[in-house]
Chain A
Amino acid sequence: MADYNVMELMICTAARELEDGASVGVGTGAPCAAAMLAQKLYSPSLTILFEAGGAAPLIPEMPISVGDSRTTWKAIMASGMCEIMETACRGLLDYTFLGGAQIDMYGNLNSTRIGPDHQKPKVRFPGSGGANDFASFCWRMMVMTPQDPKRFAEKCQFITTPGWLEGGDSRAKSGLPLGAGPYKIITNMAVMDFEPESKRMRIIAINPGYSEKDVQDNCGFELLKAKNIVENKPPTVEELTILREQVDPYRYVIGR
């Protein structure tokens, strides 16, 4: 078994989710690395879109901004925000990766504030950016994040970005496009999906070296458990080689 770190494991796990022919809306950092890895290894015709307007670039190196020139390097189009988000709203975008300071059992995300007073927050975060938009429109929203009980919170102090909202059919009733929603949550410890009826987060795979108890102990709410929880496959030598040598040779995302 190859030696790897947590970030490499999450990126390789995420890359396996992006099948050939799919489309994905990504930000900078780990999501971009996962999409680049998938494109090089499994999904040569993966379409990568950036919210600022970059469409299907052949990304030469890790972008710093979702609007910098690397996001249109040898792209098929340099467009704008409406072009990308409307492509998603029409139903043409399969996946997106998002993150936040807090995530709850329905996959709702907080990237707005901590503290009760909206006009004078204890901590102010960037807000939605394009996250609410991608999560509303893309068929399958995924999250890659380290797992701890503060981040995996009983209740988000602010729901910036929709997951399954209050579970059940609440998202369908909200007016958001039907059939889209959170799909998988990939952490350093496990992979979770959402139970189809209640829409509650559910453990489906555990990473090597961790137990169900570790996962639950590092989560601020009760996780459901799939009937057959499998062990997540560690990164292969091939995945690691491409990730380290081609995707992120300077180790900006995967770390040193």
Chain B
Amino acid sequence: MNVIAQGSGKVFADPDADKARAFFRKKNRKMVSKLMTVKEAVEKFVHDGDYLCIGGFGANRIPAAVCHEILRQGRKNMAFAGHTSTHDFQILCAGEVFNKLDVAYIVGLEARGLSVGARRYMESGKVEISEWTNYSLSVRFKAGAAGVSFYPARNIMGTDTFKYSGAKIIECPFTGTKYAAMPAIYPDVSALHVHEADIYGNCRIRGITVSDLDVARASKHLIITCERLISNEEIRREPSLTVIPYWCVDAVCEVPYGSYPGNMYGEYFSDEDHLREWLKVEENPEEFKKFLDKNIYGCKNHFEYIEKNGGLERLQVLRQKELMFTGARS
């Protein structure tokens, strides 16, 4: 196929569909229990150098416990999909976990402001970057989910975002229209937080799904954390609610309040005070180190982190905000 133009950015994940098929051919399809702790899941499935994707939307339905555990276990030199990433990005930057990055949305926490810590890391020159957009990464996962090597999209052309991406402009064989060909991402490992799952990994999600359904299918390994385990009987009672099937999943970890300090649809709102504290403390590297020791390195697990930040009492407040008994910012 004739390539009209191409970006100078690197493609960090191999888009080859046959290589992905060869991997998936060997993936276990047995419906066996995948129940384990977050610690075990990260030990088993997250490796130095892997391409990592974190689901949710920055500080909404994020697998926060997995992000913290990746830091505790000291993973390095990973490639990361900076797709709708906000607080998750901030955590991973604090551990300097990745040094290759596909950028779509990074360093900011939306209306809350920019993360000084994440910016410091991104301005250090330690990270090799390719530039994309949120939808570009969405379709790169979609290509992976579909088992193909690229997806045609009509964005990014004509901009510097394209010039610094790894996309290529091609012509439609039917109409002659130009398209940006987006190379598939088959992440080595991804982590998603969901509302409910059974021990085999059949998942239910409420609220928005962002790109998670494609991420789940494109990923070679998938860690699921869930608010609560449900029975397989319940899954089979209403199969139309299943959005991720067990054969995509490698680990199931029950982590109640697992998106904290992020928002979880229908369960609890984001802890804006804690996120504000995090943004503020990053301004002082020494204070930030103490903060990380307290909240991540000095914690055994997610429960301990939540305990240190207000525990059940705090979660009750966040639940009341989520259910609109009180305002989000009150």
A: residues with CB less than 8 A from B are 27-29, 51-54, 60-61, 63-73, 78-82, 85, 89, 108, 112, 117-133, 136-137, 158-162, 165, 170-171, 174-177, 250, 252
Contacts and interface: CB of A to CB of B under 8 A. Distances in A.
B298 to A, nearest CB: 28
Q: Main SS of the interface on chain B? A: loop
Given A52-B60, A171-B158, 19 more contacts: A51-B134, A53-B207, A66-B110, A67-B57, A68-B60, A69-B266, A72-B265, A78-B206, A78-B209, A85-B155, A119-B128, A123-B119, A124-B107, A127-B133, A129-B84, A129-B105, A133-B133, A162-B157, A162-B159
What are the 3 A-B residue pairs with the smallest beta carbon separation, nearest first?
A: A175-B178, A67-B57, A53-B208
Interface of B: 56-60, 82, 84, 86, 103-108, 110-112, 114, 119, 122-125, 127-129, 131-136, 138-139, 142, 153-161, 164, 169, 177-180, 206-214, 263, 265-266, 269-270, 272, 322, 324, 327-329
A165 B322 CA distance: 42
A28 B110 CA distance: 8
A69 B129 contact: no
19 contacts: A61-B327, A61-B328, A63-B328, A64-B272, A65-B57, A65-B111, A65-B263, A67-B208, A71-B208, A78-B208, A80-B212, A126-B105, A127-B106, A127-B133, A133-B136, A136-B155, A136-B157, A161-B159, A250-B327
A176 B161 contact: no
Contacts of A128: 104-105, 131-134, 161
B263 A69 contact: yes
Nearest to B177: A175
A68 B271 CA distance: 12
Nearest to A89: B154
A7 to B, nearest CB: 14
Contact of A52 (B84, B104, B161): B84
